Structure 1
């Protein structure tokens, strides 16, 4: 069975104001999502499921359907505030979506096979898709999930600090724990993370970090539903609280339900954390096209 790729794109309209402004980086106007989908199809993914907000579904489909028709199956899932909340009453002052793990939960009825999850606006590199597809086809079970581990030094922005899930990996290549570090940057040639108290701690360039490229068995949906209920019991009245994927991965390990395999990649990640990152992304893609890694026009 071919695995599915789930793309988290519900936050896009709020970031861009309108989808008409989705940034084009490739030589023929390709977005970062286009490259991810192209890499996924090449690696053997059979279906693409987009998580979006219903209020921009029409606009979104008009951009992606003409390119993908006949190439890969597509489906659309909506992340809305009242989805999967059960008996909980969503507070009137809540404007922020419930987070990335809630987004996955919203795809519960659209996915019945092993699947990967990525962010819409990160460039992950072909190698990561090849490794993830191989894992999902050959190793994925109800008690083994996975995450792609990038080398920290290949995920830093020159234009400010970044947030990364710093992975501790055991001797067998499984995730021991994942710590969200919200302020990582280069300081006098050394990568450091800063704590809330302002103290700085060095990190090696080869430290594995998660860029939200996860591999799951569909069993993750029932676990996510249970954890989301617990999350709402504790955080319903906190308008900023979010239910993130690492929370689910951590509890999966902590509760003895299984293990998360770290799939190391030497791929160079890039994305637009700051608008100053955009020219670099464009230059990197042009270079990959010049090297023959991608065609000049992905969908021609």
Structure 2
């Protein structure tokens, strides 16, 4: 998903050259996914960036890999609903995934373009897909809270609650930060140990999610509340499916480092990590032949 506006970062961070050879952060995720057997890359972006990304990635990724770049368009809405008001932002992560419904027909992973997820995370996601998941089982690749914080400001995290290896709920906490007193969510006042598992929007879904997203989009637009700024979030859609028995979600340990670029100051840290991993031989430089 590469359609965000980067409001806290101050720029379109999805297209910031963070790698040693100015590679985008998403290129490292694509590289790790391809190394672990994924063979179809779908990038969801703003309409104005479709041609650029199609040309840019086509020149880099191996020729045998299927590539689709689709736009998240405000006017791409379920049949029977419409919106004629003023709005700057996209409709949210659920709508972003729904935008790819015409090019996906099997199990698929979802990630953010502005996060680094790690090689092992993609290996574990691929193994999950290769298994017979049975019924309508989804997956969530989860990370440890203390490893996903930013020293430059608060972050929003979906804190996981489990029953065995399956997810029971994800509680969105919107102002988590760490100081000398520990890790706290300023909004709720909850204090965390840091060892809690959190969602970083790395999901493994089945196409059944498209139908549910469409239903939720219709409901959101029909109610007409906060249509100028409100969004439909993928974690909320999946949690509703979970609560209504439409799916179950297996929690998949990432066993990987995570880092992202929520704030502009996160950029230098991300660049240092990518440079170090390249020097250690985890990645080639340049990344693509």
* Structure 2 contact 85–228 (Cα < 8 Å) conserved: no
The 5 A counterparts of 1:119-134 are: 119-134=112-127
1:231-268 C-alpha deviation (Å, 9 max, x unpaired) = 22224553111000011111111111121111112312
The DSSP-based 3-state class of the residue aligned with 2:59 is helix
Aligned partners of 1:79, 1:140: CA distance in 2, in Å? 29
Alignment-derived partner of residue 172 in structure 2: 180
- Give yes or no for the alignment of 1:256 onto 2:245: yes
* Structure 1 contact 91–237 (Cα < 8 Å) conserved: no
Alignment-derived partner of residue 279 in structure 2: 290
1:194-227 C-alpha deviation (Å, 9 max, x unpaired) = 12xxx52211211000010000011111121122
* Structure 1 contact 90–236 (Cα < 8 Å) conserved: no
Normalization by structure 1: what TM-score?
Answer: 0.90
The 5 A counterparts of 1:260-279 are: 260-279=249-268
**Which one is further off, 81-90 or 142-151?**
81-90
Alignment-derived partner of residue 90 in structure 2: 97
* Structure 2 contact 242–249 (Cα < 8 Å) conserved: yes
Normalization by structure 2: what TM-score?
Answer: 0.93
> Which of 215, 222, 231 is the aligned partner of 1:226?
215
Q: CA deviation at 1:189?
A: 5.0
* Structure 2: runs of 5+ lacking an equivalent: none
Alignment-derived partner of residue 157 in structure 2: 164
Please give the root-mean-square deviation of Cα atoms over the aligned residues, in Å.
2.0
Aligned partners of 1:186, 1:235: CA distance in 2, in Å? 37
The DSSP-based 3-state class of the residue aligned with 1:35 is helix
1:121-143 C-alpha deviation (Å, 9 max, x unpaired) = 10000111111111112144442
Aligned partners of 1:235, 1:125: CA distance in 2, in Å? 39
Q: CA deviation at 1:95?
A: 2.4
